[in-house]
Amino acid sequence: MKRWVIPGLALTGLLAGCQPAPQGLKLGVLLPATGDLAPLGQEMIPAVNLLVEQVNACGGVNGQPVQVFQEDDQTQPTAGAAAMTKLAEVNQVGGVVGSFASSVSQAALDVAVRNQVPLVSPGSTSPEFTERAKKGEYKGFWYRTAPPDTYQGAALAALALKRGLRRVSTVVINNSYGLGFEREFTRAFTQKGGQIVNRPTRYDPNATTLESEARSAFANKPQAVMAAVYAETGALLLKSAYEQGLLPGVQLLLTDAVQSEQFVTSVGKNPQGQFIIAGAIGTVPGADGPALAALEKLWREKRGTALPPFTAQTWDAAAVIILAAQAAQSNRGVDIAPKIREIGNPPGQPVTDVCQGLALLKQGQDINYQGASGNVDFDAFGDVVGSYDVWQVTPDGKIRVIDRVKP
């Protein structure tokens, strides 16, 4: 008996030792640390880490710490799709915060839907997502915490008309973001009596010279030029316009993708030391949610700066995945996805603190997360409605918010 019992015990212990340890929620991050949108993406990424740090300090999700898996999408659709494949199929994440560029999110979504992993974007604003969601292409695995450009295009058009700018030309990056913005701006602007005076100018996202595109953008003596561009290529375009003497007397109307002082600096200064695009104005999805003040305070304590653009939307994108996982009592994407709308929308007890929300969910209560960017009430297509900040480039190259508009 002794000869058989001892090996049996040893075998039992060996089998127990081979059991996989319980794993917590794996949270993916797919944002641009490099490439055309890096100036904004680099400021968004820390928001996820700050939130996860808080969540793990208050007990994690489903009894385990949250793990973060970060990938750089390089602001390139091909790189984004490859990174999303790694997150979904190798890291086996339960949800992904990303991407920022609409073209990258479009490429990543095919992978996300196939692997049943929810993708929650803090900044992909192309109206194309709404159209495809209405056709059922995303099967409930797509959400975004920034409102679509259906609203922002109209907001920028209203701003132009409010300033008496009725003759405007347009130039956009030739991808889903630029084309969607061009369409919505043009529709809203012309319906209110504005006139687009140039032929649509669209430039290659991989272009290295943009002299002819700059000439086309400023053709026919416009009062203003609406430029829906990315940072690196947008700086190249506006620098070329300056070098050709096209900027004097023309108001620049810019968008969310270039709201950074790094962009202003990259366009450069004139020989007198003045910033070339001083006086440019633009719009960007604003943040006015109930949780905003607490996030601004935390950001100043941890980062020492004011809250950058899209940081609140990034925080909320991570928050809804984390809360949905607890609501589902599961770390699998297929279980998390349908819970995102449930925890973000009424009914349920309103909460602004993610740890408080987790505690209530553990008690079996329903919650209505009220975010930093806004109320985060998702419609049937994964969209939210938000407000827009109006920003301006100051003579010393800073970005200053001067107004707010709501669609």
pLDDT digits (tens, 9 = 90+) for 77-92: 999 999 999 999 999 9
Nearest residue to 287 via CA among 384, 147, 387: 387
Residues in the chain, total: 407
Residue 367 backbone zone (phi > 0: left; psi -120 to 50: alpha; other: beta): beta
Enclosing H/E stretch for 372 = none
Which secondary structure element, helix H or strand E, spans residue 153, and what is its range? helix 149-162
Q: pLDDT tens across 354-387, in order?
A: 999 999 999 999 999 999 999 999 999 999 988 8
Q: Does domain 26-148+289-369 have CATH number 3.40.50.300?
A: no
d(CA 146, CA 11): 55
pLDDT band at 404 (very low <50, low <70, confident <90, very high): confident
400 backbone φψ class: left, alpha, beta (φ>0; ψ -120 to 50): beta
Q: Do domains 26-148+289-369 and 150-285+388-405 have the same CATH topology?
A: yes
* Average confidence score pLDDT of the chain: 93
| Phi and psi based region of residue 163 (left: phi greater than 0; alpha: psi -120 to 50; beta: remaining) | alpha
Structure tokens at 45: 């990424």
Share of the chain above pLDDT 70, in %: 94
126-154 pLDDT, tens digit per residue, is: 999 999 999 999 999 999 999 999 889 99
What is the reported pLDDT for 17?
42
Residue 78: which region, alpha, beta or left (left: phi > 0; alpha: psi -120 to 50)?
A: alpha
Domain boundaries, the chain: 26-148+289-369, 150-285+388-405
Q: Tell me the CATH number for domain 150-285+388-405.
A: 3.40.50.2300
Judge whether residue 339 has pLDDT over 80: yes
Predicted TM-score of the model (pTM): 0.87
At residue 407, the pLDDT reads: 63
pLDDT score for 405: 80
Q: Hey, what are 149's tokens?
A: 């450009």
- Which residue in the block uniquely carries the two structure tokens 């701003």? 159
Does residue 57 sit in helix, strand or coil?
helix
Residue 238, token pair as written in the block: 């506006």
Counting Cβ atoms within 10 Å, is residue 209 exposed (0-12), middle (13-18) or buried (19+)? exposed
Count CB neighbours of 380 within 10 A.
9
User: What does the pLDDT look like over 26-37, one tens digit per residue?
Assistant: 999 999 999 999
Residue 8 binned pLDDT confidence (cut-offs 50, 70, 90): very low
Pairing relationship of beta strands 388-393 and 399-405 according to DSSP bridges = antiparallel
User: CA distances (Å), 207 to each of 34, 79, 81, in order?
Assistant: 17, 18, 21
Nearest to 345 by CA among 296, 382, 298, 304: 382
Q: pLDDT (tens digit, 9 = 90+) per residue, 219-239?
A: 999 999 999 999 999 999 999
Contact 189, 223 (CB under 8 A): no
